[in-house]
Structure 1
Amino acid sequence: MSTSSASLSGAHSPVIGIPVRLSITDAPGADLRVAAAARTFAAVVDLVRASGATPEVLLPGAGLQEQLARCTGFVVPGGGDVDPALYGGPVDHPALYDVNQEQDALDLAVIRHALAVRLPLLGICRGTQLINVAHGGTLHLDLAPGLVQHNPPTGTSWALHNVGFVAGSVCAEVYGAAGVPVASAHHQAIDRVGQGLQVTARAADGCVEAVEAAQEGAGWLVGVQWHPEAEVPEPALRAPLFEALREAAALVSVPC
């Protein structure tokens, strides 16, 4: 997908901003996970479009503020590891990969704009981790093997497991269920939950799988550790979060 076709027309559809992935996927010796993140980014854009919203790929630079002003909702997708310096973690941990400070800066600019003007915000995997960091939270640098496999087995794209929702949460309402099967691909996760966030989903091992705004009136905010854009385990579960984001963004009458 080219950035020239990133802003797609939609007569009455809300515009959903999605920060572009900046890491080079075809560099010699590039981590295969970087290319995988680029593919899932394209899937996120497609699902935003399929929801009835207009996706706008957000680019770093002088024009970012103008782009942000056109949007009434945002998705911050997956990608490489967040720079541990942003939450006081060790920057030399051997499990770190694809730490990209320019990507962190772009994603955080989008998150902070959405929070400041209370526009709907959906975080996916890394995006959720950055939402937590933006609220003063921290991350597990590398999850130890345990009851639930969060990182895909060798030769596969996704680790499959179940998550359970807190009753009354946005996630429970969106999916109309007490929990759902999900697809994951992460070795990091939320550790200390940031101020202003509440945990609304966990895996069987206790891993934080979703966070939402803790206070009424804070705006529509959902961060999920799994990848709803994945085509497994159940294709019907791909759309609900993106449709809920579109519905929330459609209620914003004037871009901020």
Structure 2
Amino acid sequence: MEKIMKRSIAIALGLLLTSCATHQSPTGRNQMLLFSGSDMAKMGDQSFEQMKQQQPISEDKTTNQYVQCVADGIITALGQQPSDWEVVVFDSEQVNAFALPGNNIGVYTGLLNVAQNQDQLAAVMGHEVAHVLANHSNERVSRSQLSNAGLELASVLLSGNANAGLYQQAAGAFIQYGVLMPYGRIQESEADVVGADLMARAGFDPNQAVALWYNMAEASGGSAPPELLSTHPSHSTRISDLKNLQPKVQPLYKQAVQQGKRRSCKQPS
């Protein structure tokens, strides 16, 4: 009886998690997207406003101009106007940046200690904007909603079973490590591919994305978690994949340079 129940849960969860895979990412991967673009933009805008209220914003003019200059190149490569996006520099030691639906970009000043030139900063920005282009936030929220629905389904199917709690925990672990975590890594790798293409078209050297991740590896001091339990590829995997991308994206970069798209963004001292 227990085997039948577990099999029923697995089948039901499988159907639940695959029934909405009707969209494709920029690399042709099937995605589950439950929310409209306008809904995601509203959520992104709300989150960005909250972050601006809760975190200190850099008032250093040179730093802001430098980050904006790099962002303008990435945004222009999208075929959009820089004025359509909001770029904010947060005064924090975090080595991080992000982009949110609704055309929002945030960069932490700590990142500028690791991204040592405009091309390396563009690699990060291109990667983060790629998450937005590929609907990764929508995919993540959608999967979260589906996993919660799956656990509720398991609770119903196992109602009255003495081992219900144990099986629900197992279902939760399956969803976390068997569904959410692998897709987190796939999303990161996908953003690397799309981001490298984007930065190259913007006139930033995509080979510097490789150098950036050597810097990231050095800055982390080897403290990254095992790749199996991480939502990010390991540094070595990421570096190897970015190297393999170079034959494809370097011609795009050279073409952008010939077209005069190469920028000269003044770094803060």
- The structure whose residues are more often helix, as a share, is 2
TM-score by length of 2: 0.25
TM-score by length of 1: 0.26
- The structure whose residues are more often strand, as a share, is 1
